[in-house]
Structures are given as C-alpha cells and as structure tokens.
Structure 1
C-alpha cells in the first residue's frame, strides 16, 4: 500500500468520524454533535445503525492492515457506545460526550504513525 493510499484511508476515516460525531456546533456552546447523536434519539434502531456506520472506520483499519489489538479497541469503543445508547437519556448524553468515531480515527492515526 502506498503512502498516498494510507493518507486517503486516514482522511476518509476522519471525514466519517467528524460527520458522525461533530459536524454541527450546538449554538452558544462549545459542543459539537453529528449524525450519531441524532440517530441515538431513535430507540434501538438508531443505536444499531450508528454502530453499523462506525464499522466503516474499523473497515479502513482492516484495509490498512492494522493489528487485531487496534481493531479490538475500536470494536470495544463501538460496543460500549452501543450499550450506553440503550439506556434512555444517558445514551443520548454519551453520544455527544464519548465520540467513539473520533476516538477510533485517532487510534487508527496513532497506529499508522
């Protein structure tokens, strides 16, 4: 895999992470929300769909040849967010605060560098 391919996969991972975790700023606050937080408002199906979308970053890690340990940490972040999301109100707060996708993109970037 070339350096350009690696950079492109990292760029895609960050794009997806930012779309899901922080594309919009909540007015008059420093907090950002993304599609993940909006999906979290839908009981069960929203958290499931959010987890499926988050697997896109794990897929990029797999295509880059990341070790199992990195992918397991990423899957653990997704699983934890899914479990927290199943709890009313706490799940909605966790979607804004935990930012599993940005954590996973950072894990991938750290492994690449």
Structure 2
C-alpha cells in the first residue's frame, strides 16, 4: 500500500521540528554530551559517568559504538560551519578516547577520567559563544 502525499504531510506536521539554528544545535550537543559523559552518578564516590564509560566496558565493540556516538557531535559542529582545524581537533579527541579506551582496564579508567565529548562540547561552545552569542543559556553557563 502506497502512502499518499496528504498522509505524508500529516505525519510531517505531527512530528516535532529539528531545528538547524545554532540554539537548537547547542541544546542537542549539550544533551548528547550529558548522556555520554555525565548521565549517571557512581554511588559512594559521587562521580558522574555516562554511556561512553559504560560502553567502554564492552571490549572493542563498545569503544567503537561510543566513538560513533561522539562523532555525531563533530557532525553537528561541521553543520555549524566550524573551521576544519577545530573539526580535526575534535576527531583527535575521539581518536585518543578510542585508542586508549581499547586497552583493557587502563582504557576503562581513562574513559572515567578523559572525557572526549566534554572537550568537544567546549570547542563547540566557544565557537557558538563567539559567532552566535544569542545561543548562550543559563543552564549552559552552569554546566561548564
């Protein structure tokens, strides 16, 4: 059964818009960074950790999945028109996280300490603060 254009239009109208404006991008990258790096809290030591750390516990495949998820932040940064050297720096952060994270035990400890997605979020925030200052939010200021 083929869908008619009017059905597709109704579906599109019902879906929330994914904004491409810098403020929407800021919200998405901050949410993804929070999920990957500080979505949970380690009991006893009260230290935040995220999906990146959890996935890193699965040898090789987990680190690859976490790197792919982190690459999404770089894709959003590229869509903002960030310079290539900043994009390369962000890929470097992900690469370091991936290579070090692949080492058993040492990589898990490194994932707990080195937060590539947080570093990449800082790069994106600096760019947005300079080129799109209207996107600064109170929550964004508190999470720095």
Normalising by structure 1, we get a TM-score of: 0.93
Deviation at 1:55, TM superposition (A): 0.6
2:110 to 89, 94, 113: 94
CA separation in 2, counterparts of 1:27 and 1:44? 26
Name 1:53's counterpart in structure 2.
69
| Structure 1 position 96, deviation (Å) | 1.2
Gaps of 5+ in 1: none
CA contact (8 A) 1:43 1:86 kept: yes
Structure having greater relative contact order (Cα 8 Å, sep ≥ 6): 1
Bigger drift between 71-80 and 19-28 goes to 19-28
Q: Does residue 7 in structure 1 map to residue 23 in structure 2?
A: yes
In the TM superposition, structure 1's runs of 4+ consecutive aligned residues that sit over 4 Å from their partners are none
User: What are the ranges of 5 or more consecutive residues in structure 2 without an aligned counterpart?
Assistant: 1-19, 130-144
Local SS of the residue matching 2:21: helix
Asked if structure 2 preserves the Cα contact closer than 8 Å seen for 1:62 and 1:71, the reply is yes
Describe the superposition over 1:2-46 as per-residue Cα deviations: whole angstroms up to 9, x where unpaired. xx8101101111110110011111112241111111100111100
TM-score w.r.t. the length of structure 2 is 0.73
1:63 and 2:79 correspond: yes
Kindly state the Cα deviation for residue 95 of structure 1 after the two structures are TM-superposed: 1.0
Partner of 1:41 in structure 2?
Answer: 57
Map 1:96-111 onto structure 2 (within 5 A).
96-111=112-127
